[in-house]
Amino acid sequence: SQKIEQNSEALNIQEGKTATLTCNYTNYSPAYLQWYRQDPGRGPVFLLLIRENEKEKRKERLKVTFDTTLKQSLFHITASQPADSATYLCALGAATGFQKLVFGTGTRLLVSP
């Protein structure tokens, strides 16, 4: 069956370090992958999109990689700040069923001062 897996355990890091979050998928042929941030009691907010033919995307302190061989995306936040504390969700759009965006369960990031 199709699965998108994100680490369910919270990631705790110190301010200034790089946070790395993982999104693994099985039985998918993704055409694109997106990352969202969600704060408690709020809707998700879009961060980055990367397509299957792109290896890496950057935006300010954020970097996303997409390895279709490993079936994995890594999401990096450099120089992390306490304000980066949130839950981060990955979402895949498959090559078939193109208009259905399927989300992982998310990983909570806690950045300590």
Partner 1 sequence: NAGVTQTPKFQVLKTGQSMTLQCAQDMNHEYMSWYRQDPGMGLRLIHYSVGAGITDQGEVPNGYNVSRSTTEDFPLRLLSAAPSQTSVYFCASSLQGAQGKLFFGSGTQLSVL
**Which positions lie near partner 1, rule CB under 8 A?**
4, 8, 31-32, 34, 36, 41-46, 49, 89, 91, 93, 98-106
Burial class (CB in 10 A: 0-12, 13-18, 19+), 85: middle
Tokens coding 3 = 């699965």
CA 83: distance to chain centroid? 17
Closer residue to partner 1 (CB): 17 or 59: 59
Closer residue to partner 1 (CB): 4 or 111: 4
Closer residue to partner 1 (CB): 2 or 112: 2
CB of 113 to partner 1, least distance (A): 28
Evaluated on CA atoms 11, 6, 92, 71, the torsion sign reads positive
CB of 89 to partner 1, least distance (A): 7
CB of 13 to partner 1, least distance (A): 23
Closer residue to partner 1 (CB): 69 or 99: 99
Helix (H) or strand (E) holding 94: strand 86-94
Tokens coding 32 = 């694109």
